[in-house]
Structure 1
Amino acid sequence: MTVKWMDDVLDTIDNARTEAELLARIVSTAKHLGFDYCAYGIRIPIPVTRPKIVMSNNFLPSWRQRYAHCKYIAVDPTVQHCTKSTIPIVWDEQMTRQNPQMWEEARGAGLAHGWAQSCLDGRGSGGMLTLARSNDPITAQELAANQKYMRFLVHVAHQGFLRVLTPHWQLPQEKTLSQRECEVLKWAADGKTAHEIGLILSLSRETIKFHLRNAGSKLGVHNCTATVVRATSLGLLV
């Protein structure tokens, strides 16, 4: 595999228009890397009290149903690791001892050996790619040769799923916050009152309140705290 291969993968995934099409292209790439199965889970941060987890994979339907029914996501050590770190993790014997029933069922579904890594983008959304197969443990030699491509796929997949899955929680173009609204919200996020922000920006208190109300209206919320939280979750204040 070469830089050209990476460019081809990027072009292929960038051209996917639906979740199913995107998954099929990621599965094809995973097979080139020696894995029969792959999964991508992405966390959509809106609404804050009920963030949505979207899972897309080519696992056996029976395993998908079992994993959801038993709420294995809450005890899956790969998920626990990847929510805290972007360092890749290889399934090992110590990990499988933590929940032997789950791992025995996973092996029965063809998921005996695997690798996972998360992508935490700083905008409230985070994703995790899992690559798995039924035969042949993942060796140090294999990782030395292929892990850079596997890690590349993590980031390409994350951007692809963000593009395909999240239009419904992104702001329409006509509702984009103005530069002044973002500036006011940043100061509000730092704990400044409308009066204090007005002094900092040389604007009246009423003008600051106007910008806060306008930003809240665009974001579909009705108070300053909610406006700041929503704007931050959407990555609008970076």
Structure 2
Amino acid sequence: MFNSAEFRLSITRALGDQLAESLDKLMPAPLDLVNIAALAPRPGVYQLYEDDHFVYVGKADNSLPARLTEHFAKISGRLHVGRMTFACLYVEEDLHAVAPEKLLIARYKGDGQAPWNNNGFGNNDPGKERDTTDFSKKPRHFDVLHPANLDWVCDTIMPGRYRAANLLKILKEALPYVFRYQQAAFHKEVTVDVSSDRPTADELFHGLARAIADVEPAWQITALPGYVIMYPKKGPYPSARRTYP
């Protein structure tokens, strides 16, 4: 028998276990603006739950409430936010160096947890290269499971006549998901009538697309799983959910 052996201490694994244990001790709170505003603007890690099922772990390098507010806005355009809860920990250490969310992801993924991680939830605007993606090959992608809500009520847009350029800008700011479009000089000349005092995104897309197509028929608005785009027709968009006009 030898009187020596190897010992390997995994500091990172120990840290991941400690973070997970601390989060597990917390009672998740509803993901709403009141609870988010009650948080201190400090860095940390957090977990999201959908119908009490753990779905996502993330980090906030600067401010937990700022990051969770972004998630609240995105989720509100996909599913009922009343189904969502969260728990979080303030972490004062250098998050870039420690990468706590990666430690937690590595720990949970082996158990089949945190399904929203590495599945499209954390993305903002995915960029033009995603527009032609065939999502039939990604049935568990977040955007497929929770597509952008085209029936979202844009109650900040009042009835009236708008220049297309102005309405595009207002609509982009009003929607809780990405609406990306190409600007063109003729948008300043096209007018769009909004008759409803609570127009849906779908109604506004229809109105915009019809008005613009009357001048430039090559233009089209396309609703993809998680966001909406407007460009001169390029396609094909294999995962288009709806096109306007």
Q: TM-score range by the shorter chain?
A: under 0.3
TM-score with structure 2 length normalisation?
A: 0.24
Higher RCO (CA 8 Å, separation ≥ 6 residues): 1
TM-score with structure 1 length normalisation?
A: 0.25
Between Structure 1 and Structure 2, the one with more helix by share is: 1
